[in-house]
Chains A and B, each alone.
Chain A
Amino acid sequence: MDFLSSIDWYLILTSLAKTVFVLIVVLTMVSYTVYAERRVSALIQDRLGPNRVGFPTTLLGTKKDFSPFLGGLGQPIADAVKLLIKEDFTPAHVNKFYYWIAPALGIGSVVVSLAVIPFGSTFFGAKMVIANIGIGPLFIFAFSSLGVYGIVLAGWSANSKYPFLGSIRSSSQMISYELALGLSVVPLFLILGTLNLSDIVDYQVKHGWLLFPFIADGLHIPTLSQWLLWIPVAISFVIFTISMFAETNRLPFDLPEAETELVGGYHTEYSSMKFALFFLGEYAAMIAGSSLIVTLFLGGWHFPGIPDGSGNGGLEILHAIPAWIWGLVNIAVFFGKVAVLLLFFIWVRWTLPRFRYDQLMRLGWIFFFEIALVNVFVAAFIVALIPN
C-alpha cells in the first residue's frame, strides 16, 4: 500500500480535467473551423454557404427553430451525424491492418502534440498546460512528423495508384518542409534560452511578444537588441508560418490530396468515419500549428492589460475582480488568437492556387532551408555581439 500514498492525486486529477477540457474545446473548434471554412470560402467567392441548419428546438416546443447569428450553426453537428451513420466501407483490395491503423495515426499524433501547448496562465493555481515539459517545440515537431505515417500508410495500404501518389508526395513534402520548420525557430531559442513553452510565454509577457516587442505587460520600450532581433524573428515567423501551411497540407501546398489531380489523394479509398478521422486530424493539425505559432510569436495567452490567473500584472483596476475569472479570460484570449490564425489559414487557402510539385520542392530546399540557416547565424551574431 506504500505506492498508493506516493501517487500525486492532484496532478492526476488536474491533468485529466485539463485533457478533457482541451479535447472538448479543440474538437468543437475543429468542427466549427470546417463550418467557417465553408462560410468564408463561400463569401470570398460571392456565395452564401451553408446558412440553413439551425438547432431543432421546435422538437422541444418552441415556436421557431433556434438559428442564431448568420444561420447554419447546426451544420457541423449534422455533418458529424452524417459521417457517423454512413456505411463504413472497406475495399477488398486493401491491406486491412494498415488501412485501419492509418486514420488513428493521423489524428492520434496531432492530439498528442496538443498536450504541451500552454493554453492559459493558471486556474486556481493549476498551470494551464497538460504536460509542462522542457522540450515543448521538439515534442510537437516529433509528433507532427509522425502524422505523416498516417498519410503514408493510408496511401500505401489502399493499394491503388492515386492514394499512393498522394502519400509519396506527402512524405517528400514533409521532409523538405520539416527542415525549414525546425531551423526557422532556432533563432527564437537562441533569444529565449529555453524550450519550455510555458517559460517562452512568460518571457514574452515580461519582455514583449516576439513578433511585436512593444506589447508586453505594462508599458514596454524594446531595447536595441530587441529591435535588431526583430528582423530574424520576423523572417522566422514568415518561414515558420509558410512551413506550417505545408506541414498541415493546406493550400497552396495541398499536393497530397490535390483533388483535381489525384481524385482525393491519400484518403480516396476511405469512407464514413475513417475518412472523417483524416479530416479531423487535418484540422486538428491546423489548430495545433496555430497554437504553436501563437505560443512562440504572438505571446500565447497574454493580452495587454489583462492580469494572469493568479491576479498578477495587467491593469491595477482589474485586480479587484477575482483572479480565476482572469484565468478563464486568458484561456479565451489564447483560443481567440488561434481562431484568428485559423481564419488566416482559410483566407490564404481560398486565395492562392496550388503550387506545382517542382516549385514546391524548389521553395522548400532552395529558399526556405537556406534563408532559415542564414537566419540562425544572423540571430546568433546579434545575441552574441549586442548585450541586452
Chain B
Amino acid sequence: MAYTVSRPKLTFWEKLYLPQVLGGLAITLKHFRKMIAGETKVIMQYPEEKWDASLPPYYRGAPALVKDEKGRERCVACQMCEFICPPRAIRILPGELPAESKWAKVEKFPQAFDIDMTRCIYCGMCEEVCPEQAIFLRKDYAITGYSRDQMVHDKEKLYEIGGTLEGLVFKWNPLK
C-alpha cells in the first residue's frame, strides 16, 4: 500500500539555507581541525606501522612447516594435508628413509614440499588434519612476489617461516 511520507516542516531560519550551509562548513572545519591537530586517530600508516601486535592468537596466516627442538623435521610425508587442501595448493614429493637409518621405522620424509600461495585460502584444514603437528598457520599475511614462481613456497621457505616448535613428537621415540 502506498503511503505518504510527510515532508519535514522547516523553520524560516532553515529555509534561508545559507545559515545551514555555514553550519555544514563548521562541521567539516571541525573534522579538518581535528585531523590537523592529530586528535582523530583512525589511521595506521601501513608499511611503517603494522598490526602484528594486535593480531588475535587464532589468526590464520601463511601455512608453514615446523621443526622440533632438535632441528628434525616433523613431517612424515603422509600427504593428508595434500589430500584435504580445498584449493589443492599443496604438493608433496614423499621420499623413503633408507633401511639402515636409525629412524627407519618412520619410513617417509618429504623430499619436496611446495605450497602455492596464489592458491592457498588460509582455511587451516592442513593444520587440523596433520597427525604429526608438523604444519601450522603462522601470522604472516604479507605474502608477495614478483612472479608466480616466487609465490610458491618450497620446503626451505616453509621451514624458515615455521621455525621450531617444542613438544613431544611420537615418531622420534625409539620405544614406540
Contacts and interface: CB of A to CB of B under 8 A. Distances in A.
**Are A and B interaction partners?**
yes
Interface of A: 40, 43-48, 238, 347-348, 350-352
A313 to B, nearest CB: 35
Contacts of B43: 47-48
A238 B18 CA distance: 10
Nearest to A238: B18
Interface in B20-45: 21, 24-25, 27-29, 31-32, 34-36, 40, 42-43
A155 to B, nearest CB: 29
Interface residues of B, number: 15
A44 B32 contact: yes
B24 A351 contact: yes
B28 A44 contact: yes
A48 B43 CA distance: 8
B31 A44 contact: yes
Contact of B28 (A47, A48, A347): A347
B23 to A, nearest CB: 9
A245 to B, nearest CB: 11
- Binding site of B, secondary structure by majority: helix, strand, loop or mixed? helix
A268 B35 CA distance: 34
Contacts of B32: 40, 43-44, 347
Given A46-B42, A47-B43, A48-B43, A352 B31 contact: no
Contacts of B40: 46
Contact of A351 (B18, B25, B34, B42): B25
Nearest to B33: A43
Contact of B31 (A43, A48, A238): A43
Contacts of A43: 31-32, 35-36
Contacts of B18: 238
Given A43-B36, A46-B40, A47-B43, A348 B31 contact: no
B29 A347 contact: yes
Contacts of A40: 32
Contact of B24 (A46, A47, A48, A352): A352
Given A348-B21, A351-B27, 11 more contacts: A44-B28, A44-B32, A46-B42, A47-B43, A48-B35, A238-B18, A347-B28, A347-B29, A351-B28, A352-B21, A352-B24
B21 A351 contact: yes
A33 B35 CA distance: 20
Contacts of A47: 43
Contacts of B27: 351
Nearest to A70: B36
Nearest to A45: B31
A345 B109 CA distance: 69
Contacts of B21: 348, 351-352
Interface string B32-68: 1011100010110000000000000000000000000
B35 A46 contact: yes
